[in-house]
Amino acid sequence: MATAFTVNGKRVEVTTDAETPLIYALRNELGLRGTRFGCGGEDCSACLVIVDQTRRCSCTYLVADAAGKSVQTIEGITGNIADILREAFVEAGAGQCGYCLSGIFVTAHELVAGKQRPSIEEVKKSLGRHLCRCGAHAAILRGIGKAIDAVDELGGYRND
């Protein structure tokens, strides 16, 4: 039986077994290969996606649970803030092999696109569940910091 949900604003129906983790339907059936499989046990966040505004590990979140919901993957994160963040990552040399970056980008975009300027403590706390085996955390943090500064300079945050 097919499971229907929305991915990056488009309604889809997948035939991947409903008891299978969502990442397999995203990558293998829908061809959305930006979401990465790491630990398979909610320890690295490489597989992070947004489901109905909540961050979920797609390595354990089942296809059945996505039925009728709205899923956003890295491919669906577009627009000015995403462009600023991507550029800042490149400038900061954030990442080496890049395997962890899809999940980190999902979290970082949520932070940078918020209404108020996030503090470095908030950034570090949000990234706490993301593992990077290359040890590129310092450069990744620099990249996110650059993006926050760029959005701030454009007047993108509230002051209250």
CA-to-CA distance for 125 and 133, rounded, in angstroms?
A: 18
8-47 burial by CB neighbour count: b if 16+ within 10 A, else e? Answer: beeebebebebebbbbbbbbeebebebbbebeeeeebbbb
Residue 127 CB coordination number (10 Å)? 21
- Among 25, 32, 44, 147, the residue binding ligand FES under the rule CB under 6 A is 44
Minimum CB–partner distance for residue 122 and ligand FES (Å): 21
Site for ligand FES in 89-128 (CB under 6 A): 95-100
SS3 at position 57: strand
CA atoms within 13 A on the CB side of 4: 3
Q: Does 22 bind ligand FES (CB under 6 A)?
A: no
Helix (H), strand (E) at residue 64: helix 63-66
* Residue 24 binds to ligand FES (criterion: CB under 6 A): no
User: Shortest distance, CB of residue 19 to ligand FES, whole angstroms?
Assistant: 17
Q: Which residues are paired to 49 by β-bridges?
A: 56
Least Cβ distance, residue 127 to ligand FES (angstroms)? 11
Q: Is residue 134 at the binding interface for ligand FES, with CB under 6 A as the rule?
A: yes
Burial class (CB in 10 A: 0-12, 13-18, 19+), 63: buried
Residues in region 135-154 near ligand FES by CB under 6 A: 136
Closest distance to ligand FES from the beta carbon of 11 (Å): 25
Among 14, 22, 30, 59, contact with ligand FES (rule: CB under 6 A): 59
Residue closer to ligand FES by CB (options 12, 44) is 44
Q: Which residues bind ligand FES (CB under 6 A)?
A: 37-40, 42-47, 57, 59, 95-100, 132-134, 136
